Amino acid sequence: GVTEISISNRPVNFGNTKWTEKHDNLLKDCECYVCDGLSLAEKKEQLSTSFQNRAIHNAHTYLQERELARELVGTNRYYPYLQKRFKRSYFNKKFLSKVRESKSQPSIDTFLNKSY
């Protein structure tokens, strides 16, 4: 699965990734309902003290990721994006092989409109 990290440097659920400056840079730019208008220190405080705040923040992050995927799907940038995004995933090879396989399949519209 995807490693989850804790602002307190404690592993949460999966993996053992420590909070780094890279994570600070990502969090600094977050404008979810919880983080909007807060300093980096305030964002960390809000996310480390409330499950509800983390859930809202994570939902916002996943929705942004979904929108990016929708923009990239069908372009030559989509597969490299997936490779980078799932680089550390346990299911990386199986997932990416299915993506490669699906690139040679017709779209659902083409499939449904094709007369056999």
Q: How far apart, in whole angstroms, are the C-alpha atoms of residue 46 and residue 63?
A: 20
pLDDT in tens, 7-49: 555 544 444 567 788 888 889 999 999 999 999 999 999 988 8
Amino acid 34 reads V
pLDDT in tens, 52-73: 999 999 999 999 988 998 898 8
Q: Categorize the per-residue pLDDT at 94 as very low, low, confident or very high, splitting at 50, 70 and 90.
A: confident
For the segment 108-116, the average pLDDT, to the nearest whole number, is: 61
Q: Categorize the per-residue pLDDT at 81 as very low, low, confident or very high, splitting at 50, 70 and 90.
A: confident
Task: Give the residue with greater pLDDT, 12 vs 85.
Answer: 85
Task: Give the residue with greater pLDDT, 10 vs 86.
Answer: 86
Burial of 114 (0-12, 13-18, 19+ CB in 10 A): exposed
